[in-house]
Amino acid sequence: MRSGAKCTIDALKDAGVKTLFGLPGGTVLDLFDELARAPLEFFLVRHEQGATHMADGYARATGKPGCCIVTSGPGATNAVTGLATANMDGIPVVCIAGQVPSHMIGNDAFQEADTVGITRAVTKHNYLVKNADDLPRIIAEAFEIATTGRPGPVLVDIPKDVQRQMTSATFSGKPERRGYSPVYEGNSKQIAKLAAAINTSRKPVILAGAGVIAAGASTELITLARKAKIPVTTTLLGLGSFPDTDPLALRMPGMHGSVAANRAISNCDLLISVGARFDDRVTGKVSEFAPNAIIAHIDIDPSAIAKSVRVDIPVIGHAKAILKELIPQVVTQARKEWLAQVHGWQKEAPFTYDTKEPRILAQYAIEQIYEVTKGDAIITTDVGQHQMWAAHFFKYTKPRSFISSGGLGTMGFGLPAAIGAKAGCRDRNVIAISGDGSIQMNFQELVVAVEHDLPIVVVIMNNGYLGMVRQWQEMFYKKEYSAVRLDQNLRARNEKLRDKPPGYLPDFVKMAEAHGAAGLRVTEKREVAPALRKALAMKRPVVIECITKPDDNVYPMVPPGASLSEMVQGLA
Amino acid sequence: MSNNTSIRRHTITALVDNEPGVLARVVGLISGRGYNIESLNVGTTQDPTISRITMQVPGDDRVLEQVTKQLNKQVDVISVTDLTRESFLNRECILIKIASTRKNRSKIIELTDVFEGKVVSAQNKFMVIQLVGEQQHVADFMELVKPFQILDVSRSGVIAMGKE
């Protein structure tokens, strides 16, 4: 006989969990009591959102499920944003939540929240455990569901009395659910149809998404593209699935995509999406997306097919299995004409910025990160302009090297995700690229990196603005800069602090130091690379604040609702 | 994307695990899109661990196709069918309380007989009638008894079954 709590921790071990992120509280005391004696590395976060993002970052960097544990009520509600982030991006996370004792559920008990109700829409599945006998099976099922099909977060809500209940139940083998059977093998007829379409196409393009990374299908993707000479555009979450340095790489498509990628999509006669879900930021105006193309869609999630764009050749299944079957059916081609056209676009309009600008531009700083690390780093980002520039100006050559909240666009994701990534990949350089707005949403988690001696580098691109919102206000709201100024110096007179000369709040260098990390501030271009080198050599958590030009914009840009052929380009 | 989408009433039936939370999940997917469920019926099947949910939702064909796919994706949903695409049987049962007087009682009974309903309770001031039939049959009856002043109605929600 063992307690429900012991059962839970044992089941986590059985599922292969070695790293756990979380924060204790009243309803998880029994679980934490067991944890104290368990051979698991536990990361004590400072806010439960941090725990979910760390588990998420760990999962994205390692390919293994991330696991976190939170208490009932506010613990669980704080975890919601992290679960929603993982749910949108299809990241395997298992979240164990405490719940008030069964007999008190529904009584407005202290720290009670209807956690399964609240998280239903932001998880792949969730459970309220009513009997400890079910725990071994449910935990095993949770990991099975989180990691198979289109992966996603699963929450297991365990009331305190269930954690204390004694049980002799065990579970072994593969969990089976009659309502859950993801399809892995692609339909051979559909694959043959796709092969024929590729073989007869004159102007094909591959759109590679996060599904390629989830399926570990990068090698197959590269083989297919090179064999049939198909240019590849990688979505934000697909970055790294195809090397940005390859001549066939079109880079990112969509709203802030490259000219080459968007033109190729607009002009192709065959678009093959591999594990990409045609997000609205990718497609622009749907009715004018790839207007002349046959659209093929390889996806493990049947509900992703034809969700937003018409699909002519759907292939449901696992990207790796499908590509493996597809490659031998595809003929080797040169496609000189199409590639010449594509290379022309690549040359004509690469991602670019004003290199003569004397102030630091985030684009420049990110290029320096690429140079200093020689491209060998895991980059995490927050959300906004710096995120797009991190996609443009660092070249990703390996899967799982770019970690970002794509679907939900969660500011505050980058720092905890970097900690989770580093916890899973100690031998890699992990750099969080953030903005002055985003970083303030989860700065407290820096302490966790310090405590666990995880030498991550956080680079804050401080432009004194909520930059992406400012850009939209400049472009689409007649420069009415409403509530976007973070730097006191930029504020209207009546919004400024009295007495002291205002300056920037908070002081990020002091913030870093107060959290036990090192803080460096760079204000000149020539200081950027040396600061990065120094930070990487320090072997401890470092925050570098780059004071950047306040009002720069991300280009190219497809205005919201416009078609991909209507790009606004910046300086060329 | 095709623009020839149309708004009509969809009859969707799902086999689900007979567990707490499943109905909330199914209903949440539909209400989350601002769609109203007009009729809902839940009951166990010949296998007590499996329940059938039958619901009627007016909505855009394309959106409901997406909803059906997403319902199918749920771990505790075993299968989903939008019966609107095929021929199917539908039935509804209602209990209807109608104000009655000595004068009009026979008229109500007459209508009930025509519709193959049954008077299940008769009091001084009202009668309760039970009626089972196709949705249209039930609707027609309700329309005809309207002039007698309907005091209360309880409907089972439509149950349905594909003919194939």
pLDDT in tens, A132-157: 999 999 999 999 999 999 999 999 99
Cβ–Cβ below 8 Å for A179 and B17: yes
Cβ–Cβ below 8 Å for B17 and A302: no
Report CA dihedral (A147, A148, A151, A153) to the nearest 10 degrees.
Answer: -50
Cβ–Cβ below 8 Å for A308 and B1: yes
Which alpha helices (H) appear in A110-249, and where do they start and end?
A: 115-119, 135-147, 160-164, 188-200, 210-214, 218-228
Our answer to whether residue A398 is catalytic in this structure is no
Q: Model confidence at B4, in pLDDT bands (50, 70, 90)?
A: low
Q: Model confidence at B104, in pLDDT bands (50, 70, 90)?
A: very high
In angstroms, what CA-CA distances link A467 with A150, A295, A479? 33, 35, 13
Cβ–Cβ below 8 Å for A303 and B73: yes
Find chain B residues with C-beta within 8 A of A307's C-beta. Answer: 66
Q: What is residue A497's predicted lDDT score, i.e. its pLDDT?
A: 66
Q: What is residue B2's predicted lDDT score, i.e. its pLDDT?
A: 43
Single-letter code of the amino acid located at A141: E
Task: Compute the average pLDDT of residues B120-128.
Answer: 95
Number of helices (H), then strands (E), in chain B: 4, 9
Residues A225-240 as b/e (b if ≥16 CB within 10 A, e otherwise) read: beebbbbbbbbbbbbb
Nearest to A116 among B21, B74, B75 (CB): B21
Catalytic member of A13, A18, A110, A524: A110
Cβ–Cβ below 8 Å for A178 and B78: yes
Residues of B at the A interface (Cβ-Cβ below 8 Å)?
1-2, 16-17, 20-21, 24-25, 28, 32, 66, 69-70, 72-79
Our answer to whether residue A41 is catalytic in this structure is no
Find chain B residues with C-beta within 8 A of A121's C-beta. Answer: 28, 32
Task: Compute the average pLDDT of residues A457-469.
Answer: 97
For B29, nearest residue in chain A (alpha carbons): A121
> A125 and A145 in contact (C-beta within 8 Å)?
yes
- Contact residues for A100 (Cβ-Cβ < 8 A; gap 6+): A27, A72, A73, A109, A110, A111, A112, A159, A160
Our answer to whether residue A48 is catalytic in this structure is yes
- In the 8-state DSSP scheme, what is residue A403? E
Measured between alpha carbons, how far is A105 from A463 in angstroms, rounded to an integer? 48
Interface predicted TM-score (ipTM): 0.90
Q: How many CB pairs under 8 A join A and B?
A: 47
For residue A420, what are its two tokens?
């989770």
> A240 and A286 in contact (C-beta within 8 Å)?
no
Domain parsing of chain A, residue ranges: 2-167, 188-348, 362-547
Cβ–Cβ below 8 Å for A302 and B24: no
Cβ–Cβ below 8 Å for B25 and A117: no
SS3 call for A458: strand
Please confirm whether the linkage preceding A560 is cis (ω < 30° from 0): no
Nearest to A120 among B1, B2, B24 (CB): B24
Q: Which backbone phi and psi does A384 adopt, to 5 degrees?
A: 140, -155
Cβ–Cβ below 8 Å for B75 and A120: no
Nearest to B24 among A117, A145, A286 (CB): A117
Measured between alpha carbons, how far is A16 from A21 in angstroms, rounded to an integer? 15
For B77, nearest residue in chain A (alpha carbons): A179
Of B41, B42, B53, B43, whose CA–CA distance to B78 is shortest? B53
Catalytic member of A124, A160, A320, A422: A160
Of A266, A235, A31, whose CA–CA distance to A129 is shortest? A31
How would DSSP label each residue in A508-551? Answer: HHHHHHHTTSEEEEE-SHHHHHHHHHHHHHH-S-EEEEEEB-TT
Reported as type and span, the H/E element at residue A205 is strand A204-208
pLDDT at A442 over 80: yes
Q: Render pLDDT for B19-53 as a digit per residue (tens, 0 to 9).
A: 999 999 999 999 988 889 999 999 999 999 999 99
For residue A492, what are its two tokens?
């209207």
Domain parsing of chain B, residue ranges: 7-85, 89-162
Q: Does domain A362-547 have CATH number 3.40.630.10?
A: no
Our answer to whether residue A476 is catalytic in this structure is no
Q: What is residue A495's predicted lDDT score, i.e. its pLDDT?
A: 67
Q: What is residue A355's predicted lDDT score, i.e. its pLDDT?
A: 94
Task: Compute the average pLDDT of residues A183-189.
Answer: 96
In angstroms, what CA-CA distances link B136 with A219, B6, B55, B156? 59, 21, 16, 14
Cβ–Cβ below 8 Å for B75 and A177: yes
Nearest to A287 among B1, B73, B78 (CB): B1
Estimate the crossing angle of helix B22-31 against helix B61-73, to 10 degrees: 150
Question: Computed over its alpha carbons, how large is the radius of gyration of chain A?
Answer: 24
Cβ–Cβ below 8 Å for B72 and A302: yes
For A289, nearest residue in chain B (alpha carbons): B1
Cβ–Cβ below 8 Å for A303 and B69: yes
Q: What is residue A570's predicted lDDT score, i.e. its pLDDT?
A: 75
Mutation site, A116, A119, A120, A181, interface B, largest B CB count within 10 A? A120
Q: What count of residues does chain B have?
A: 164
pLDDT at A569 over 80: yes
Q: Render pLDDT for A56-81 as a digit per residue (tens, 0 to 9).
A: 999 999 999 999 999 999 999 999 99
pLDDT at A373 over 50: yes
Task: Compute the average pLDDT of residues A17-43.
Answer: 97
Say whether A362-547 and A2-167 share the same fold. Answer: yes
Measured between alpha carbons, how far is A332 from A530 in angstroms, rounded to an integer? 46
Cβ–Cβ below 8 Å for A125 and B72: no
Question: In chain B, pLDDT over 90 holds for what percent of residues?
Answer: 83
Find chain B residues with C-beta within 8 A of A286's C-beta. Answer: 1
Shortest CA gap B164–chain A (Å): 22
Cβ–Cβ below 8 Å for B66 and A302: no
A2-167 CATH? 3.40.50.970
Task: Compute the average pLDDT of residues A103-117.
Answer: 97
To which CATH superfamily is domain B7-85 assigned?
Answer: ACT domain (3.30.70.260)
Find chain B residues with C-beta within 8 A of A301's C-beta. Answer: 73
Q: Model confidence at A494, in pLDDT bands (50, 70, 90)?
A: low
Q: What is residue B1's predicted lDDT score, i.e. its pLDDT?
A: 39
Q: What is residue A135's predicted lDDT score, i.e. its pLDDT?
A: 97
Measured between alpha carbons, how far is B55 from A460 in angstroms, rounded to an integer? 51
Shortest CA gap B13–chain A (Å): 15
User: Mean pLDDT across chain A, nearest whole number?
Assistant: 96
Task: Compute the average pLDDT of residues A425-438.
Answer: 98
Our answer to whether residue A468 is catalytic in this structure is yes
For A120, nearest residue in chain B (alpha carbons): B25
Q: Which backbone phi and psi does A477 adopt, to 5 degrees?
A: -130, 35
Reported as type and span, the H/E element at residue A273 is strand A270-274
Reported as type and span, the H/E element at residue B81 is strand B77-82
Q: Render pLDDT for A289-320 as a digit per residue (tens, 0 to 9).
A: 999 999 999 999 999 998 889 999 999 999 99
Measured between alpha carbons, how far is A334 from A455 in angstroms, rounded to an integer? 46
Task: Compute the average pLDDT of residues A460-469.
Answer: 96
- SS3 of A321-369: the string is HHHHHHHHHCCCCCCHHHHHHHHHHHHHCCCCCCCCCCCECHHHHHHHH
Q: Render pLDDT for A444-453 as a digit per residue (tens, 0 to 9).
A: 999 999 999 9
Find chain B residues with C-beta within 8 A of A116's C-beta. Answer: 21
Q: Which backbone phi and psi does A340 adopt, to 5 degrees?
A: -65, -40
- Contact residues for A33 (Cβ-Cβ < 8 A; gap 6+): A5
SS3 call for A234: strand
Which alpha helices (H) appear in A374-499, and where do they start and end?
A: 385-393, 414-424, 446-451, 467-476
Q: Render pLDDT for A235-276 as a digit per residue (tens, 0 to 9).
A: 999 999 999 999 999 999 999 999 999 999 999 999 999 999
Shortest CA gap A185–chain B (Å): 17
Measured between alpha carbons, how far is A406 from A281 in angstroms, rounded to an integer? 10
In angstroms, what CA-CA distances link A33 with A1, A15, A167, A308? 17, 20, 17, 48
Q: What count of residues does chain A have?
A: 572
Residue A505 or residue A554, greater confidence: A554
Q: What is residue A504's predicted lDDT score, i.e. its pLDDT?
A: 80
B89-162 CATH? 3.30.70.1150
pLDDT at A498 over 70: no
pTM: 0.95
Estimate the crossing angle of helix A362-373 against helix A525-538, to 10 degrees: 40
Beta-sheet strand order (sheet of A313-316)? A249-251, A232-234, A204-208, A270-274, A294-299, A313-316
One CATH from 3.40.30.10, 2.60.410.10, 3.30.310.10, 3.40.50.1220 for A188-348:
3.40.50.1220
Measured between alpha carbons, how far is B4 from B60 in angstroms, rounded to an integer? 10
> A488 and A497 in contact (C-beta within 8 Å)?
yes
- Give how far the C-alpha of residue A428 lies from the chain's centroid of Cα atoms, to the nearest Å: 18
With 0-12 CB in 10 A as exposed, 13-18 as middle and 19+ as buried, what is B93? Answer: middle
- In the 8-state DSSP scheme, what is residue A414? H
Q: What is residue A572's predicted lDDT score, i.e. its pLDDT?
A: 43
Measured between alpha carbons, how far is A176 from A144 in angstroms, rounded to an integer? 9
Cβ–Cβ below 8 Å for B24 and A310: no
Find chain B residues with C-beta within 8 A of A287's C-beta. Answer: 1
Classify strands A378-381 and A430-435 as parallel, antiparallel or unpaired: parallel
Find chain A residues with C-beta within 8 A of B75's C-beta. Answer: 124-125, 145, 177, 179-180
Find chain A residues with C-beta within 8 A of B79's C-beta. Answer: 179
Nearest to A309 among B1, B16, B77 (CB): B1
Measured between alpha carbons, how far is A85 from A22 in angstroms, rounded to an integer? 17
SS3 call for A117: helix
Question: In chain A, pLDDT over 90 holds for what percent of residues?
Answer: 95
Catalytic member of A48, A220, A325, A367: A48
For B62, nearest residue in chain A (alpha carbons): A307
